[in-house]
């Protein structure tokens, strides 16, 4: 065949890109893309998971993956292996237990969920708060009826907010406030006291003992919800020092 107008000299001198080189570049790009996607895993994604890989657990706990693996293999962190493989998997409840036992903040695994401990000896008040906060969404609520139980739950549940009745069967609210403020996590806990039988001098004493807010019973639910949101950082953070 004759010359078709192609400069064969230039063609012969051009570098040849071989198949393997193209494959390696494509694979490297895929690895970079996969690593980038892994880095973009948000706390919200992790907050919704029920089962975690060791890599995900490491990200939540802000430790190396090898640390998680060592804790898993030593029995300090419970879980299971995927059948027919060596891959480790960690249930959410067990990861939370491990984090609490090692004083690792739970924000990464909980997303925006706020923990609220309601302490009151009136079952109707406890029911009101459980209903109100469950309707609002984004709250994990536990309740107690005595100061003693409140102390235990403050340690194990690690609430962001304690809603505290001033007059409990075994102790007064100002004593609970003082004990919370004497703890290691004092600056991480907000306290809102509620009562229907205290005067302004007692309110002042509560605020002096460490309460961040006070609200008198009976209260308006909308106003109550506004106060709760402000205290947990979902609105106005200003302190309300009155008997509204």
Tens of pLDDT along 137-163?
A: 889 999 999 999 999 999 888 899 999
Find, among 164, 108, 161, 123, the residue nearest to 139 by Cα. 161
Q: How far apart are CA 167 and CA 175, in angstroms?
A: 10
Query: Are residues 184 and 197 located together in one domain of the fold?
Result: yes
Please state the φ and ψ torsions of residue 118, each to the nearest 5 degrees: -105, 125
**How many angstroms separate the CA atoms of 71 and 64, rounded?**
11
Which residue is it, tokens 């536990």? 142
* Residue 149 contacts residue 118 (beta carbons within 8 Å): no
Res. 33: pLDDT tops 50: no
The more confident residue out of 37 and 171 is: 171
Length of the chain: 244
Q: For residues 212 and 135, state if they share a domain.
A: yes
CA 97 to CA 126: how far, in whole Å?
25
Which of 109, 143, 159 is where one domain is finished?
A: 109
Within-domain flag for 123: yes
Same domain, 132 and 166: yes
Domain limits for position 131: 113-231
Other beta carbons less than 10 A from residue 125's beta carbon: 19
pLDDT at 240 over 70: no
pLDDT in tens, 192-238: 999 887 788 888 888 999 999 999 888 888 999 999 999 998 654 33
Inside any domain, residue 192: yes
């Amino acid at each position: 065949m004759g010359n078709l107008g192609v400069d064969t000299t230039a063609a012969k001198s051009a570098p040849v890109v071989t198949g393997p080189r193209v494959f390696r570049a494509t694979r490297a790009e895929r690895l970079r893309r996969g690593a980038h996607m892994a880095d973009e895993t948000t706390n919200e994604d992790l907050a919704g998971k029920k089962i975690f890989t060791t890599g995900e657990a490491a990200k939540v706990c802000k430790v190396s993956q090898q640390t998680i693996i060592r804790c898993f293999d030593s029995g300090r962190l419970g879980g299971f292996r995927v059948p027919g493989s060596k891959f480790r998997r960690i249930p959410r409840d067990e990861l939370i237990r491990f984090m609490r036992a090692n004083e690792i903040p739970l924000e990464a695994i909980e997303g925006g969920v706020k923990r609220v401990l309601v302490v009151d000896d009136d079952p109707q008040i406890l029911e009101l708060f459980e209903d109100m906060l469950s309707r609002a969404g984004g709250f994990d609520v536990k309740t107690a009826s005595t100061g003693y139980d409140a102390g235990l739950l403050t340690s194990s549940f690690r609430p962001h907010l304690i809603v505290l009745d001033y007059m409990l069967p075994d102790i007064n609210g100002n004593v609970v406030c003082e004990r919370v403020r004497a703890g290691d996590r004092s600056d991480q806990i907000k306290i809102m006291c509620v009562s229907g039988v205290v005067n302004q001098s007692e309110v002042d004493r509560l605020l002096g003992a460490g309460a961040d807010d006070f609200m008198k019973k009976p209260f308006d639910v909308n106003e109550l919800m506004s106060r709760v949101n402000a205290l947990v950082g979902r609105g106005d953070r200003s302190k309300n020092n009155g008997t509204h």
